[in-house]
Amino acid sequence: MSVYAPSEPSPPRLRKVKIVVSGAFGTGKTTLVSAVTEVRPLLTEAVMTQASEGIDVLAGVESKTTTTVAMDFGRITLPTGDPEHGIVLMLFGTPGQNRFSNIWDDLSYRAAGAVVLVDTRRLEDAFDVVAYFEAQKLPFLVAVNLFDHAPRYLLDEVRDALRLEASVPVIACDVRDRQSVLDALTDLVRHALFRLPASPIGTPGARP
């Protein structure tokens, strides 16, 4: 009589999705990646020197002493409710300064979507970032980073100020808070992969 060993359970089928985390200089990209990654983050932070004086505008982020010069990388598995079909997000954070913009094309290649972080103290800095992803026709959402002491505006006011199309989600996010970042990434996946509306979060006036 043949004896058969019990079959091993099949490993979960994980779908890997590339996500770009972008925004102007000092909007919190490195903090977002570091807050949520389940692996040790790869950070390419360099100390800012006098050579950047007159180039990097520090208004609103005067305490910033380092900057990303290549990319940040992290990974997070989104809970889907189905253990057999998970989604793993590969997070690629872009440099914020225009002089590193040639790296953006490489980081955005074959990405499913992007999170564009904005600082309400420097909303005008987001125009070039938004224009880039619009030109790339890459799905993106705008996440208003809830910096302490930054002005609070209604999300619709941010949308109007950035001249965003109605189809672009605008949400509030505290990039220091892991759950807040998870919510933002979940909204991006819903928008980029499934074309579903972002979950209602309210206005930037309250912490998520």
Per-residue pLDDT of 78-115, as tens digits, reads: 877 776 678 999 999 998 766 566 788 999 999 999 99
Position 70 scores a pLDDT of 64
Find the helix packing angle between 29-36 and 178-194, rounded to 10°: 100
- Parallel, antiparallel, or unpaired: how do β-strands 140-145 and 170-173 relate? parallel
Q: Is the pLDDT of residue 4 over 80?
A: no
The answer to which of 15-29, 42-56, 76-90, 190-204 has the lowest mean pLDDT is 42-56
pTM over 0.75: yes
Q: What percent of the chain shows pLDDT beyond 70?
A: 72
| Higher-pLDDT residue of 14, 154 | 154
Report which DSSP code applies to 24: S
Give yes or no for residue 199 having a pLDDT over 70.
no
Beta strand 113-118 with 140-145 is: parallel
Confidence band for 126, pLDDT divided at 50, 70 and 90: very high
pLDDT of residue 163: 97
CA atoms within 13 A on the CB side of 140: 26
pLDDT reading at 166 higher than 80: yes
| pLDDT (0 to 100) of residue 198 | 63
Mean pLDDT, the chain, whole residue set: 82
Q: Which residues pair with 78 in a beta bridge?
A: 87
For residue 173 the two structure tokens come to 């996010």
pLDDT score of 203 more than 50: no
Identify the bridge partners of residue 42 per DSSP, sorted by sequence position: 73
Closest C-alpha among 117, 115, 131 to residue 18: 115
141 has a pLDDT exceeding 70:
yes
For residues 102-135, one letter each, b for 16 or more C-beta atoms within 10 angstroms of the residue's C-beta and e for the rest, the string is ebbeebbeebbbbbbbbbbebbebbeebbebbee
Query: Given a cut of 80, is residue 178 above it in pLDDT?
Result: yes
